[in-house]
Structure 1
Amino acid sequence: MNGSYGPTRWQTSPNLDLNQRVAQRQAAGDPLVHLGFGESRLPAFGPLVERLVAGAGRNAYGPVEGADSVRAAAAGYFARRRLPTEPGQVIVAPGSKPLLMALQLVVPGDVLLPRPCWNTYAPQARLAGKRVFGVPIPEACGGAPEPAALRQTLRTARAQGHDPRILILTLPDNPTGTLAPPALVRELAAIAEDENLLIVSDEIYRDVLHDPATPFLSPAEVAPERTVVTSGLSKSLALGGWRIGVARFPAGPWGEHLRTGVVSVASELWSTLAGPMQEVAQYAFDEPPEIRRRLADSARLHGAVARAVHRIMVDAGARCRPPTGAFYVYPDLEPLRERLAPRGVTDSPSLHRQLFDQHGIVVLAGHHLGDDEHALRFKAATSMLYGTTREQQEASLAAPDPLELAHVREGLTRIEEGFHKLCA
């Protein structure tokens, strides 16, 4: 394997394990600032709850790929994003994660990943018996490999007898909170054409662009015959615990072959998306005005708080890409290495421990995301700062300036004070 991509085969996913440990510490009374888990910390939107209740009577299994009405709604969702889609190209599932795993089981060949990337991609590939090749990301953004490095990785891997066939992109990106620009997406799509790669475009954060005017190009627009798009409602509508995912497959014989394979895997692993969740999915993917307003309000909040945390990191002396999507920042404390070394901070694990144990700030260490273990980088999930109660979270969402709210300011102040002490 090229790069350091997370846990060994039978370990719990590091972000889920960390979240459980933090919950235990908080239950014991530890006042932690939890930035280590990628959850959109907002309440379930009232109309979504109403649809869930209305769907409670849908207790039959139904089609593996999802009901016709749900897939038609999802097809409309994609079509409104410049991806003309027929319902037959769509599968819904209990989250996008099982759809990504099913693709790993169906598509042969090894996997190319941006480095760093979401900590689930590589373990899934290994569970499917594949090798993983990490490719560094460009200076400007994450979620996509640097093109020249991608070509070199392909040459080297094939010269060593390996068979990379799948390229995974994340648009916008987890962990950096940035978006690959259209020119870069076009260049990577051209490489995929030249090298006969399947692109898996994870677009679960597409509706969490901080500025709706930001140009977004899906590889499915420029390489439609070789791109599978995955998405879901966990991030944009804060429904992580409800587990609603969707995949869009290419039109034509190869796309139908991929889709048939994923349906086959689904029939043995999860059977179908739960009926009440299909009721929710149909309503959400139809995007009535109240859903569009909720998406816009959420994206505005995510952007305001992510930018505030970014400023704190930069003011502390870190390098950090300005966030433009999702709800993450990915600071690099390399400029502070000499200052941190006397405190025992020399690599990603020791930086995580110092922040956790000495300053009560919880982050996800970069080496869990495929990054160099000796680097001083981590992911901070800024969405965890919106409050601990439904009332606080709704207030954060409604506020013209959420940074003026006492509970948001308190979290930001604790982060600022902790990094001032760490880096002083």
Structure 2
Amino acid sequence: MSTDPNKWVAGHVATLPKSGIRDFFDLVAKMKGQDVISLGVGEPDFVTPWRVREAAIYALEQGKTYYTANLGLLELRRAISKYVAEHFGVEYRPDDQVLVTVGVSEAVDLAFRAFCNPGDKVMFHQPCYVSYHPSVTLVHGTGIAVPTYAKDNFALTAEALRAAWQPGAKILMLNLPCNPTGGTCTREQLEKIAEFCREKDLLVLSDEIYSELTFDGVHTSIASLPGMAERTVFLHGFSKAFAMTGWRIGYACGPAVLVDAMMKVHQYSMMCASIISQEAALEALTHGWDDVCRMREQYHRRRDLVVRRFNEIGLKCHSPRGSFYAFPNVTATGLDEKQFAVELLEKEKVAVVPGQAFGENGAGHVRACFATSYEQLIDACDRMERFVGAKR
């Protein structure tokens, strides 16, 4: 008797789409060894700084291979509390308002699982990171996409939130600066968003993983604005600014009741983050700021290069205020974003991600990650210029 294993897959998982990024990079994998320049995966090309790696090695040599508290190493939580106060202007108690997680991705997942009842509505700005809407679906919530636009440099506005709001909305998911657009908000824009959140009594989940990579102006955390710390869960991590993607280490800060709710889910699913990664993160926070500044300077230089070249080529591109992504419009070529990405890969061996992988509002755009060497970016831009020129 044959059995179809599909019958055991939960319905809401069976209908969940796979990541548009990973689907596209199946094509890239097939071209291994063909001199492909990848502007696709959002990962720093810098190796984790030596002092951070050395701290992890020393922890291993000291035999630190055991579980930590569910909330994470107290010494690390103290360092996180100090860092967030200094860089974001928000005070959190390390004893009960800081939770160390397995990357900020786990922190996002924990938040949705801890705060969403079936049917609750979650607002998020779009284009957005690929996991937000699926994460809402996985907890049987309802996602409300709030569009952002190139004409506004993909900044979220209170007016757009008000237009998209629906009765029953409970949570606003923010990601500033944003993946994939590099869009962010000025303090004045955030103040209007905060006013809207207070008016509608929304809980805010603020993913600020790219905040240190702000090139223009000063990054402001919504949690630092009046009346917002008590209704905001601040989400952050080490992957981007500290070049620690593979270490899988992040954190959540917020009101003790909310952090405790997240910790309950964390303790039953993950127990704790790796102690080795926590020791490395402690070193990064304590002595790694100069490395962050050095890497940010290089990203800034790369951003200026790709934005200038894309616009010269004829691919209209706003200048992202943060992150390490450019989001050019490719419709001038007569191709949609998927056609553009596939043909560019096939003909010029440059990989970018179709914009609709980040939601419907990404149509007509592609995401190009400039977290690769300056020399490779020049080569990639030359290839793209040749490709676009052939379409005219």
TM-score for the superposition, normalised by structure 1: 0.83
Which residue, 42, 47, 52 being the options, matches 2:46? 42
For 1:64, the equivalent position in structure 2 comes to 70
For 1:91, the equivalent position in structure 2 comes to 99
For 2:367, the equivalent position in structure 1 comes to 379
1:8-407 matched pairs, under 5 angstroms? 9-19=15-25, 21-26=27-32, 29-56=33-60, 57-81=63-87, 82-87=89-94, 88-108=96-116, 109-138=120-149, 139-142=151-154, 145-154=156-165, 157-158=166-167, 163-211=168-216, 214-222=217-225, 223-249=228-254, 255-286=255-286, 288=287, 291-334=288-331, 336=332, 340-341=333-334, 345=335, 347-372=336-361, 375-383=363-371, 385-386=372-373, 403=374, 406-407=375-376
* 1:217 CA displacement: 1.3
For 1:4, the equivalent position in structure 2 comes to none
CA change 1:21–1:273 in 2 (3 A) is farther
The letter of the residue matching 2:267 is S
Give me the whole-angstrom Cα distance separating, in 2, the residues matched to 1:70 and 1:239: 16
* 1:119 CA displacement: 0.9
**8 A contact 1:31–1:360 mirrored in 2:** yes
CA change 1:298–1:22 in 2 (3 A) is same
The letter of the residue matching 1:295 is V
* 1:355 CA displacement: 2.0
CA change 1:10–1:135 in 2 (3 A) is closer
The letter of the residue matching 2:326 is V
**8 A contact 1:113–1:167 mirrored in 2:** yes
The letter of the residue matching 1:307 is D
* 1:127 CA displacement: 0.8
* 1:179 CA displacement: 2.4
**8 A contact 1:167–1:199 mirrored in 2:** yes
For 1:394, the equivalent position in structure 2 comes to none
The letter of the residue matching 1:303 is H
**8 A contact 2:16–2:134 mirrored in 1:** no
* 1:78 CA displacement: 0.3
* 1:21 CA displacement: 4.3
**8 A contact 1:125–1:132 mirrored in 2:** yes
TM-score for the superposition, normalised by structure 2: 0.89
**8 A contact 2:19–2:357 mirrored in 1:** no
CA change 1:328–1:53 in 2 (3 A) is same
**8 A contact 1:70–1:281 mirrored in 2:** yes
Give me the whole-angstrom Cα distance separating, in 2, the residues matched to 1:171 and 1:407: 27
**8 A contact 2:350–2:380 mirrored in 1:** no
For 2:378, the equivalent position in structure 1 comes to 409
Give me the whole-angstrom Cα distance separating, in 2, the residues matched to 1:357 and 1:196: 49
CA change 1:141–1:407 in 2 (3 A) is closer
Give me the identity figure in percent: 25
CA change 1:372–1:75 in 2 (3 A) is closer
Give me the whole-angstrom Cα distance separating, in 1, the residues matched to 2:15 and 2:213: 31
Describe the superposition over 1:130-179 as per-residue Cα deviations: whole angstroms up to 9, x where unpaired.
Answer: 1111111153333x53322211211xx32xxxx22111111211111232
CA change 1:132–1:22 in 2 (3 A) is same
Describe the superposition over 1:176-197 as per-residue Cα deviations: whole angstroms up to 9, x where unpaired.
Answer: 1232111111111110000011
CA change 1:19–1:242 in 2 (3 A) is farther
Segments of structure 1 that go 5 or more residues without pairing to the other structure are: 1-6, 250-254, 387-402
Segments of structure 2 that go 5 or more residues without pairing to the other structure are: 1-12
The letter of the residue matching 1:381 is C
Are 2:389 and 1:420 equivalent residues in the alignment? yes
**8 A contact 1:33–1:415 mirrored in 2:** no
For 1:3, the equivalent position in structure 2 comes to none
* 1:271 CA displacement: 0.9
CA change 1:333–1:295 in 2 (3 A) is same
Give me the whole-angstrom Cα distance separating, in 2, the residues matched to 1:171 and 1:153: 19
